[in-house]
Chains A and B, each alone.
Chain A
């Protein structure tokens, strides 16, 4: 069948190429206008319990896009006119930032931070500093003292050493655009030029803003990688076709994929660039395989009688099977990612499937068809010849495969698999280190984040909701008492810097009422007393003032937990402890609901990834096994091709574990693509051994032939791709750099396996699907007969 398809394609080559060109042209507009952005809602698994809670209460208790700004005094404490002036200026200017929720700007200079005071007429709440800045030294001293005695401010908003203070601002999620927020806040922060005052900013809008900020740099790196690829292909292949056709192939598939994605409404996340590179690498690989085979076919033909059309035809017909099989496994394996309930991953899987599928057209069809027009098939474009080097390497591969070393190679593979398998178990879900894994530890953002987390309770928040729809439930002593116990329980974990709830507010109001006697720092004994305390605290409150603590009906109360880091382990422990507390302290009325805020959302994403992690690996492997079984009509084929995949993935996972790269929403798709990636090289080589055996060569000859043809393509693509992908290691985004390294590792391991391990295994086990049925079918039928007779 592949022969018929090949003939048809070559016969109608003009039409084929024209159609491909037309489609490419048509899709280019769409491809170049694709939106490059991170959409926050896409990151959330919307059906997850925590995300439901988050979405239900985020407008009241705080979203996950909180930006925290720390104003730091470089000398002395913050109670200096210039420092407080900066706080005041930032607080006021923040109201002008797009999508900011004006009721959720909290700082010393806002109305939100208040003092509760006893007065002759009862109780009074007054903003600490708003509206006027303190001017005299006495005013400053007074403010310092007010802060020091207010546990809702001293600690949460002013650091314990008094040298820094926080401004927090929340956004209206649906209006938020990370890029705009980032640029407006950066401009605002940079405009603060007060000597002795340092301003630091963290928060997800800033983090993703930084990713966008580095987008041009990332694109430059990708471009550079492309150029290096081009240059190396030219040097090694020595022909224009060997240089330009792989690039055309990569380019066409990219245009198609991006064009189609834009048409079906998928945008391009900047963090996905690594995926794009990975798939383009596939396109280039397949194309190089085809060109190598073409060169070989040309060599076969007697000098002077070259017919490029014939060479192209036989290349196409011989390589359709391994090529399409490779692409199909890639596509199906990455399609498994779409099972994840996270929209970003679903869209990404769709994008990747489309992209990988287009490689079938751009490499497997377009490359050989274009080759059929080659003018001087035997000519070289330059005199530098490195093919002897590749030749030596392939000789070594052959030696290893057919000598006794092959047993050592098989044993070594098993050993590496076991050792790496052991280390791969240490792979963590969620971030493995403090700070954002997207950026380097020494990046501005991570430095700021570390500084803020060392001075304060923690910049990242989670909220837990307690109560139900019954109004005023949050005033009952049972709920309030439970909140206190819960907070005490949670604060035991060192990474939880602190907690905050209405249960912290009411006792201090009570204490103030009791002449400041700390022996009365306690909740009211009945709902009415608590209601009264709450009423006193609310006196003179503005809309949104109580939002951090209770909802409008007072039916639900929130506990905000402040986290010093967002490591997977930290979050898992916290969530497990929350569940432990709920199980041990059941409420009669109302219930605890997990979990909103940034940490709540990350917890949901991590749980989804953890729960789907084994699933996706198993299903991807299953698809691979089934496809190979079907194509080669042998269940052993499935087992056989699992070797390179399992090996490259265990090595990569153990490397991730060693480097402290966690499985998170950004690394999962790369890992899924990696599963399909591991098999391509092996498919080309093993399929070639099969073909040569069928054409009558002996097994040593077949292995040698396969290594020197398909193997050559593997060496060339692996080498040039590894070098160009490693260039991405220069990225200012740690995530890109690490993923570049991972991809390089994947390529290395799968190339090594394809060149050294697979031929050795073929020679050792002589599987029937390669050696042909004739050889093994006799003994099997004999045995069957024996079984029946015996």
Chain B
């Protein structure tokens, strides 16, 4: 019987093989399978506009709704889930758990759990253009934001609900800051400077000595502050922002930047150079620090009269728009993220 089965088996096998070959020959068509690719947290295409730090925790926001957070001073990053894909322009934090983010389309997001969940805030909008460019956080859940169309917004509940603190007007406000005495100062397009000494109820417009856009402002004390902007403009105030004088005129920009700014054929002016996008007072370092286009860095002693400048690294022409303070230096957000140490060493954070 076994023998018989074997013989039948042997008789059938060749035809089975032929049938299999025919089947494979006619019907089996493998499909290509690719290998998996794991994205890095920071990608070449990223642009970060805002950065904050708490101890060794760093939080950065940027283009296409990207929020990344590092717990170890930029060695490792985690991308956070965000309910939007619009450009996010700035972040402000109260502590490691609580933060608010603003961005294009007048969007604001807040978190109370370190960014595990981001929720959309309630923000009033106008019919023309809504784009929030800067946000600052202060004690007791107070937050201020400014942006396009003269928008000034305030929140008292850690960024969950916002309201207008001023009637909109057709110019852009780029940064707002609060002096230690509670006075608010905002700067923006066409050299605009607004001051409010009654928590945003009334705003006083100050005439600046320049007509170009001011991008940043910060105060060292109730009276001493610095504003900075396009074309290397640096202004200083010693009376809480009511009067400003230009400083740093003798500023020597790095060599490679010596010639541009003036066109070859006189008809037009190249305005894309030498911009300063952010300036801050660093209490621990006792210095004024600024960043801008093309890897520009600026530094001044407390009086803000003698400014130095240079380039972060010889071939790093990345722009930066935000500075956050960390131990022995600052971290910068912009076309790349990196640390600028007190002894002028620039190291770019990699994405892993």
Contacts and interface: CB of A to CB of B under 8 A. Distances in A.
Contact of B25 (A149, A492, A569, A615): A615
A145 interface: yes
Nearest to A636: B14
B258 interface: yes
Given A488-B64, A615-B28, 18 more contacts: A118-B271, A118-B272, A161-B315, A498-B44, A515-B275, A518-B47, A518-B335, A519-B87, A522-B104, A569-B34, A572-B32, A572-B35, A618-B21, A621-B21, A622-B25, A625-B14, A638-B18, A642-B17
A417 B320 CA distance: 62
B24 interface: yes
Interface string B1-45: 001100100110111011011101110111111110111100111
Interface of B: 3-4, 7, 10-11, 13-15, 17-18, 20-22, 24-26, 28-35, 37-40, 43-45, 47, 49, 63-64, 85, 87, 89, 104, 133, 213, 215, 230, 255-260, 267-273, 275, 277, 293-294, 315, 317, 319, 321, 334-335
Nearest to B134: A519
Interface string A506-534: 00000010011111011000000000000
A691 B236 CA distance: 109
A747 B315 CA distance: 58
* The 10 nearest A-B residue pairs measured at CB: A119-B268, A576-B34, A573-B34, A635-B14, A516-B272, A618-B24, A618-B25, A619-B25, A622-B21, A492-B39
Contacts of A494: 37
A639 B268 contact: no
Contacts of B230: 515-517
Contacts of B35: 569, 572-573
Interface string A622-651: 100110010000011011001000000000
Nearest to B129: A525
Interface in A128-157: 138, 141-142, 144-145, 148-149, 154
22 contacts: A117-B270, A119-B269, A120-B267, A120-B269, A141-B256, A488-B45, A491-B45, A492-B38, A492-B39, A516-B273, A517-B230, A522-B63, A569-B35, A572-B33, A576-B33, A615-B28, A618-B28, A621-B21, A622-B22, A622-B25, A625-B14, A626-B18
A619 B28 CA distance: 11
A493 B334 contact: no
B219 to A, nearest CB: 22
Nearest to A151: B335
Contact of B37 (A160, A512, A577, A783): A577
Contacts of B255: 141
A783 B9 CA distance: 13
Contacts of A642: 17
Given A516-B275, A572-B34, A615 B29 contact: yes
Contact of B30 (A154, A488, A492, A614): A614
Interface centre among A484, A498, A517 (most CB of B within 10 A): A517
A306 interface: no
Interface of A: 117-121, 124, 138, 141-142, 144-145, 148-149, 154, 160-162, 429, 484-485, 487-488, 491-494, 498, 512, 515-519, 521-522, 569, 572-577, 606-607, 610-616, 618-619, 621-622, 625-626, 629, 635-636, 638-639, 642, 780, 783, 786-787
B25 to A, nearest CB: 4
Nearest to A430: B32
Please report whether the interface of chain B is mostly helix, strand, loop or mixed according to DSSP: loop
A117 B272 contact: yes
Contacts, number: 171
B143 to A, nearest CB: 19
A622 to B, nearest CB: 4
Given A573-B35, A575-B34, A515 B319 contact: no
A242 B236 CA distance: 103
A572 B33 CA distance: 6
Contact of A160 (B24, B26, B31, B315): B315
A615 B267 CA distance: 68
A545 B243 CA distance: 50
Nearest to B258: A141
Contacts of B85: 485
A518 B268 contact: no
Please report whether the interface of chain A is mostly helix, strand, loop or mixed according to DSSP: helix
Contact of A629 (B14, B268, B271, B321): B14
A273 to B, nearest CB: 29
Contacts of A491: 43-45
A613 B32 CA distance: 12
Interface centre among A607, A615, A636 (most CB of B within 10 A): A615
A611 B29 contact: yes
Given A518-B47, A618-B21, A149 B34 contact: no
Contacts of A783: 3-4, 7
B115 to A, nearest CB: 21
A532 to B, nearest CB: 16
Interface centre among B15, B20, B37 (most CB of A within 10 A): B37
Nearest to A574: B34
B37 A492 contact: yes
Nearest to A611: B29
B43 A488 contact: yes
B34 A577 contact: yes
Nearest to B30: A610
B28 A780 contact: no
Contacts of B47: 518, 521
A161 B314 CA distance: 10
Interface centre among A512, A516, A616 (most CB of B within 10 A): A516
Contacts of B277: 517-518
Contacts of A610: 30-32
A217 to B, nearest CB: 36
Contacts of A154: 317
A619 B272 CA distance: 66
Contacts of B25: 615-616, 618-619, 622
A512 B273 CA distance: 10
B230 to A, nearest CB: 6
A519 B133 contact: yes
Contacts of B294: 145, 148-149
Contacts of B14: 625, 629, 635-636, 638-639
